[in-house]
Chains A and B, each alone.
Chain A
Amino acid sequence: MSTPRLARIDRRYIYLLLFLLVSLPFFYPLKLPLSVGEHAQAVWDVTEALPPDSVVISSFDFGPSTITENRPQAKAHLYQCKERDLKVVALAFWISGGPLGEMVLREVYGEDFPDIPEYGTRVVYLGYVPGNEVGMQTFGDSTVSAKGTDHYGTPVGELDLMNEVTSAADFDLWAEWTSGTPGEQQVIQFVQGRHGGPSAVPLVVGSTAVSVPGMMPFYSAGQISGIMNGLSGGGQYELLVDGEYGYPLVEALPLLDSQSVAHVLIIVFVIIGNIGFAITKYGGGQRS
């Protein structure tokens, strides 16, 4: 007796069906309701609790492959910082994150960035800081030792904002947008751990969904104050920012319909595969 068809669907049909169903919501949005979870809410609460003129680090530690998840997170958080009159020092410990950070800053602060009045006093972009985790540690110990100029070649000594922050202890929040190493664990190990712990350097993280399970021990211990979990976390944050400030740069929310369809399709295929498996096992067929 042959293996039932249910257990041996050609993968090309799976690919085709996934492609069609993921594309469909772009033309016919499902507009499924989204609720804000505790992890994204925690990021919001920590950021909202900062007094105006607090200094936030925004660290773009991801590459183009995870831009769909990390960019909406970083963008929404930067927009909140801008609306709340928080000062921002942006940088990247990933070489691929350098150009991506600049793209996000231009979306939030305007296409003329860095030629904007507030550059140097309320926002600075240092660009790529080399050295991976060692670069993080050096930056945490002494900002000027890690990078002598900003992304555009201006010495950091000429930027008023950089004169306010000489080490990690001078920052009020570290926002880490990450999809790997160096990422949040290196911030905890090489920056937070050397400068007074989570109360001195609070850390919020926006991460790819696949990395979030590994962060939960640090979240439970209070070393991470809040997490945006993948595309869903980014969408939840866009809801929060839109509700409070009106957010014109929404990016993640429309994509969540496609994600929903893809997740349901995967579950349906798992069920179909198991029915085929059960028929094979208990119906006398051969195993595939």
Chain B
Amino acid sequence: MSVVVKRYIPLAITFIMGMIMVIATYFLAPGTPARDATALLTGTVDVLVATAGVLGLVVLLRHHSVNISRRGRFWQYSIITIVGVILYLIVGLYGIATHETQLMYASELFSWVYANLYVHMDMTIFSLLAFFIASAAYRAFRLRSLEASILLIVGSLMLLANAPVGAAIWEGFPDLGAWLLNVPNAAGNRAITIGIAVGAISLAIRQLLGVERGYLGPER
């Protein structure tokens, strides 16, 4: 493929689309036909997301099929993944095919699988985090330096402030926790947020102007 197709056309598309959105956001008044016309562009995101979903399914199935055929690491789990994906896909498509409803989410069987299998599995995996946090806090929270000591003390105060036991020990813990959130934490987070925003603006300008091309893949 020529460099024009691989590089210049994507860069031109990025620049044109980006500039349209910048102009629409900063220079066109809400409610004007020109501004409303840009809604067509945002609507195309749905189409792209749907396409990416199909692509994701293909990549997932391919990755795990290769892992099984090569008897790669934890290949047995790859079998479970493929079986799970295909079965749930069939359940979803069955709901649509039988015209039970227009949307697969409202299909009784689809909802049953989600509510009784997926929800509980996801909750279980996430709840294991509590055990890792307890173990990690024991191993990592050490009074090694002034900064680590401040982190440890504030972390412990927040643990007490965020549960009823804190107020049972001393009724001032919840207020102290609220102050820590509202004042020192807000100040620190505000600085981080502003820093991220400035960085994001800088990155967006670089992408619009074609200086940042990482999203196009490696140059050869």
A153 with B39, Cβ < 8 A, contacts A132-B49, A216-B182 known: no
Contact B135 A11 (CB under 8 A): yes
Contacting residues, chain B, for A131 (C-beta < 8 A): 42, 45-46, 49
Contacting residues, chain B, for A260 (C-beta < 8 A): 163-166, 168
Contact A14 B135 (CB under 8 A): yes
A210 to B144 CA separation, bound complex (whole angstroms): 24
Contact A265 B134 (CB under 8 A): yes
Contacting residues, chain A, for B126 (C-beta < 8 A): 64-66
Interface string of B117-139 (1 = CB under 8 A from A): 01110110111001101110111
Contact A256 B164 (CB under 8 A): yes
Would you list which residues of chain A between 127 and 155 have a CB under 8 Å from chain B? Answer: 127-128, 130-132, 134-135, 137-138, 141-142, 145, 149, 151-153
Residue A24 at the chain B interface, CB threshold 8 Å: no
A235 to B1 CA separation, bound complex (whole angstroms): 60
A261 to B163 CA separation, bound complex (whole angstroms): 9
Contacting residues, chain B, for A98 (C-beta < 8 A): 105
A216 with B185, Cβ < 8 A, contacts A68-B123, A262-B134, A266-B159 known: yes
Residue B214 at the chain A interface, CB threshold 8 Å: no
Would you list which residues of chain A between 1 and 52 have a CB under 8 Å from chain B? Answer: 9, 11, 14-15, 18-19, 22, 32-35, 37-39
Contact A263 B178 (CB under 8 A): no
Contacting residues, chain A, for B138 (C-beta < 8 A): 9, 14, 266, 269-270, 272-273
Which of B43, B123, B142 is the one whose CB lies under 8 Å from A277?
Answer: B142
Residue A67 at the chain B interface, CB threshold 8 Å: yes
Number of A-B contacts (CB under 8 A): 174
Contact B131 A35 (CB under 8 A): no
Residues of B within 8 A of A (CB): 30, 39, 42-43, 45-46, 49-50, 101-103, 105-106, 111, 114-115, 118-120, 122-123, 125-127, 130-131, 133-135, 137-139, 141-144, 152, 156, 159-160, 162-168, 171, 174, 177-178, 181-182, 185-186, 189-190, 193
A sample of 8 more A-B contacts (CB under 8 A), given A153-B106, A235-B164, A277-B142, is A32-B167, A33-B164, A64-B122, A64-B126, A99-B114, A152-B102, A260-B166, A270-B156
